[in-house]
Amino acid sequence: MTLTEIEPDASSTSVVVHEAMAPAVYTRLPNHILADAASSGDHKVIGRLWILGSLLFGLFTLVADILVRVERVDTDSIALFTSVTTYEQWFSLHRVSLVFLFVVPLLIGIAMVMVPLQIGAPSLSFPRAAAAALWSWAVAGVIMVVSWAIDGGLVVRPGEDVVSQATQLSMLSLAAVVLSILVASMVLITTIFTERSQGMSLYNVPLFTWSMLVAAGVWLLSLPVLFSNLMVMWIDARGDAAQNFGNARLYDQIEWVFDQPQVFAFAIPVLGLLGETVPVAFRRRLKGYDSAMIAIGLFGAYSFGAYAQTYFNPNANTTWLYVVGSLLLIVPILVMLGSIALTAKAAGRAPAMSAHFALSLMALVALLTAGALATVRVLDSLLAPVLGFLNGVVGFFQGSGSGSGDGWDWLTRFEGWVDDTFDEIFATSVAGAMVQLALIAGLLAGVAGFFYWSSKIFGRRLPTGLGMLAGLTLLGGAMLSALPDAISGFLDQPDFGGEFAARDGVQALNVISLIGAGVVFAGFALVLLAVPAAVFLGSDDDDEDIDNRNPVGGFTLEWLTESPPPVGNFDGPYVVTSEAPLLDDDFQNPYAEGASA
């Protein structure tokens, strides 16, 4: 016989909190703000702290970028750093921190604040896990930087038999950073799956939310592989004598994360953000919303790069999956561009220029350039076989079916040129240029989101002029630093590029690249200045005609709540039927003119 529980007596379950047990009135001191922030499970507080942390780490990352480029100006010797290994340590640190301490956390922070608002949810799923992810990321990030500073890092010094404890600390702290980002991704995906408003299916979520779902999904599937790389390295380093993993150039084992196609996974929200800013700029729905959704999904699928580990499989970058995937990367970007063009045509008027619209377009330009460089890097694997096949066909007909012809001479020479030119560039600074542009695209998307939703994030809109100037500076600096690197790559400058015999012109190009890095830093400083400028010099919000809830004229649910949103976000649940509910005739907007509150 099975025993089942008996329904408990209702009266025994009632709980009454005696007012006498609690003080009638208590006061919360202002110095509790820090404690409240540290212990908060509110998605807005957590998101703001992610953004703040990423901006602080961003300053460090961009300074490291400048230092690395200063060293590269003189390719004959090591001047700024004490040795080639130290230079390589800094090089790997700036790449790792650019992704895991700066761009990805910035995007996560914006998503933590905005995704629940966009889907009409009062909070995140697993808010405590979100807070745990934030604090473990922050602590692990600091430990990681410190471990590099005490001569750790992911480049083992030549001749070292025992892997230093500082290096082991670098592995573990990076693993902790990755784990934190994985937990944050899990929280975001679960929130999007479970907390959407009534009527909001996955087919009509706002495009930024969709892009974060795709991005977090790709991170969730690819970054555990990075975590496994780090664990193998660490356990190897803990052994009596490391074998092949813990004592090799460790950065090479995880380089796939900072190379195509994986690096594009950190720029997926660029496309989503365009899906938000373009309709607002043209004051109409996005044309081709479904195509844009598919494009973002495909971009995510192509950017999954855990299979492309050239350290373990040197031929990984010549497989058809890699080559075709690298070629197709650019297609979703072009689809998004087409969607923007159709929207502009349907609107029949010029867009309302704003900082967020300009910044998101700049992010698209950077991403398109990075995508073009990714295509160039696989041209050898793609074009040489095609040209060889064509020449074989020509030769077949030249020999009247006997197959004895040599084909066209010019085609043979062209095939040889393609083979010579593009075969060698894979590991050169062309790769660095592509990585730089893809990540700057992610950064520009983050900054665009920062400006677009500033009234929700900070409670104030940021100055439009400053935003546009920052965007132009960031994009200009990125182009100035990346394009010379791309040219240097064709002149055989390696990606790391510490101490080597450079061909003519490389050092001059490196000087231009250094200037570009300085301009990027200046652009970032302008972004940081935007918040104090809005506070002390006033912002567009000071105009009384501006609607506090919807100052930019957006069409999605986040624009229904106050700026900044209160705890719980919304006054009530909403029923939505499209991706832009505020444009729907049947949507009951309690704040629309003529609506009863």
Partner 1 sequence: MSGTTFSSTDLAHAVVSEAPAPFVPRKRTLQIGTALVTGMWVMYFGGLFGTYVSSRNAWQDVQAGLAAEGGSAISWIPDSAQVELTAPTVMTWTLLMSCVTMQWAVYSFKRSDRRHGLLALGTQAMFGAAVINQVVFQWNQLGLVIDDTSGSSAATLIYTITASHVAMIIMAMVLLAFAAFRALASSDTKDHVDVVASAATFWYAMVGLYFVIWILIFITK
Q: x/- contact string, 172-201, with partner 1 (CB under 8 A)?
A: ----------x---xx-xx--xxx------
# residues contacting partner 1 (CB under 8 A): 59
Return the residue matching tokens 């899990």.
186
CB of 11 to partner 1, least distance (A): 7
**Considering only 239-247, 365-373, 434-442, 549-557, which stretch makes contact with partner 1 by CB under 8 A?**
239-247
CB of 25 to partner 1, least distance (A): 6
List 78, 220, 328, 522, residue binding partner 1 (CB under 8 A):
220
Q: What residues between 242 and 271 interact with partner 1 by CB under 8 A?
A: 242-246
Nearer to partner 1, 385 or 573 (CB): 573
Q: What residues between 2 and 41 interact with partner 1 by CB under 8 A?
A: 2-5, 7-8, 10-11, 13-17, 19, 22, 24-30
Q: Assess contact for 240 and 77: CB atoms under 8 A.
A: no
Cα separation of 236 and 242, whole Å?
Answer: 5
List 198, 313, 421, 588, residue binding partner 1 (CB under 8 A):
313
Q: Assess contact for 530 and 466: CB atoms under 8 A.
A: yes
Peptide bond into 261 cis (omega under 30): yes
Take residue 55 and report the two structure tokens written for it.
């901006």
Q: Assess contact for 295 and 237: CB atoms under 8 A.
A: no
Return the residue matching tokens 């971009």.
299
Cα separation of 360 and 282, whole Å?
Answer: 14
CB of 468 to partner 1, least distance (A): 38
Cα separation of 181 and 175, whole Å?
Answer: 10
Mapping DSSP to helix (H, G, I), strand (E, B) and coil, where does residue 487 land?
Answer: helix
CB of 214 to partner 1, least distance (A): 14
List 60, 227, 490, 500, residue binding partner 1 (CB under 8 A):
227
Instruction: Compute φ and ψ for 492, nearest 5 degrees.
Output: 75, 20
CB of 108 to partner 1, least distance (A): 15
**Considering only 215-223, 369-377, 533-541, 542-550, which stretch makes contact with partner 1 by CB under 8 A?**
215-223
| Residue 21 DSSP symbol | G
List 41, 122, 224, 388, residue binding partner 1 (CB under 8 A):
224
568 scored as a contact of partner 1 (CB under 8 A):
no
Which of left, alpha, beta for 563 (phi over 0: left; psi -120 to 50: alpha)?
beta
Peptide bond into 279 cis (omega under 30): no
Take residue 246 and report the two structure tokens written for it.
């813990």
Cα–Cα distances (Å) from 194 to 40, 201, 443, in that order, read 21, 10, 28
Nearer to partner 1, 317 or 539 (CB): 317
| Residue 562 DSSP symbol | -
**Considering only 220-228, 366-374, 462-470, 553-561, which stretch makes contact with partner 1 by CB under 8 A?**
220-228
Interaction site with partner 1 (CB under 8 A): 2-5, 7-8, 10-11, 13-17, 19, 22, 24-30, 125-126, 129, 182, 186-187, 189-190, 193-195, 220-222, 224-229, 231-232, 235-236, 238-246, 306, 309, 312-313
